[in-house]
Amino acid sequence: MLSCLNMSNILIIKHGSLGDIAQASGAIQDISENYKNDQIYLLTTKPYLEVFKKNPFIHEVILDKRLPRYNLIYLYFLMQKLKKYNFSKVFDLQNSSRTNFYKNILFPKAGNLVWSSSLTTLPSDKDKNEFDKNSVLERFDHQLKSSGLNTSNTLKPDFSWAVTDISEIRNFYKINKYILLFPFCSPHLTIKKWPYYNKLIELISNRYGEEYKILTAPGPLEINDAKDINALALLDNGRALDILQLTSLIKNSSFVVANDTGPAHITAHVGAKGLTLFGKHITAYRVSIERENFKAIEVNDLNNLSAEKVFERLSNSLSKSF
């Protein structure tokens, strides 16, 4: 275990996305536990600012507006702000070209013991393209271990800290036991979209009747799309649930079926039961999404994955008690 006689400031960088935020929870916890005598700061973007403020392993959250790099005035003031903290160590969990750009400004000559990233900890016998074929969590684990940390949580992240009280919403919709569906995806990633959610809903209703309510929780840009799904769309006074509310809804569900999107990763890392549906865009292994209660169905073409097959997996899982 690493420790310091005098308190130091440690920076973690994690900009997004939603699924990545959930996945990074274990790494953040390990960093905090290795530096118990220090102050842990986290640099993130606006969508995740309030979420990270709830993380018990972070002392303070710093906003990065991520304005274009040619906005030299913004970049100057952000770098000046970060320098004032006099960080002794930076853990770059975003590992992007932007964060590497920050390194070149803040710590241009630093190695992995000062600036920990996938580049500074890259195995000597692999190039980055080859290394990136490993799963996300394995890469995080290698990065932290190569930077001198003990890791006991990185490979099993727990996102359960990101919850809030949603009793008012549950009471408003009169929901108790429910199956939660996430049939949406980004408009530019339609290859991730499974087309048979309404057929699945029909099968669930025929088997279980009123035992489970069938819900969706659309994002801000998915509210109109939710009208095409034969399920109850949960909103908070007409607005999409925020991340904390969404996490709470997922954690307390009986089962989740989701495309490969942020809510699927949340489900995996709060211990909820469910399935995620993968086409050929990437493997479930690469994105570290399978957990004890959360599994993937992988096919070459999601159009050829029947609702009956998904329902069979769902009903088998519901019949088991953990």
Domain positions in the chain:
9-146, 170-318
- Any bridge partners for residue 11, and if so which? 41, 90
Give the pTM.
0.92
Task: Collect the ranges in the chain with pLDDT lower than 70.
Answer: 1-5, 321-322
What digits encode the pLDDT tens for the residues 141-153? 999 999 999 999 9
Conformational region of residue 66, where left means phi above 0, alpha means psi within -120 to 50, and beta covers everything else: left
Query: What is the CATH superfamily name and number for domain 170-318?
Result: Glycogen Phosphorylase B; (3.40.50.2000)
CATH number of 9-146, picked from 3.10.450.50, 3.10.180.10, 2.70.98.60, 3.40.50.2000: 3.40.50.2000
Q: At what angle do helices 197-208 and 307-318 cross, to 10 degrees?
A: 40
Looking at residue 1, what is its pLDDT? 40
Q: Which pLDDT score is estimated for 223?
A: 95
DSSP code at position 191: G
pLDDT of residue 46: 97
Mark out the alpha helices in the chain (DSSP H runs).
18-23, 25-34, 46-52, 72-84, 97-106, 128-131, 136-146, 167-173, 197-208, 243-251, 262-269, 307-318
Segment holding 90, helix H or strand E? strand 89-92
Equal CATH topology for 9-146 and 170-318: yes
Q: What are phi and psi of 63, to 5 degrees?
A: -85, 130
Q: Give the pLDDT score at 2.
A: 44
Query: How many C-beta neighbours within 10 Å does residue 106 have?
Result: 16
Tens-place pLDDT, residues 229-264: 999 999 999 999 999 999 999 999 999 999 999 999
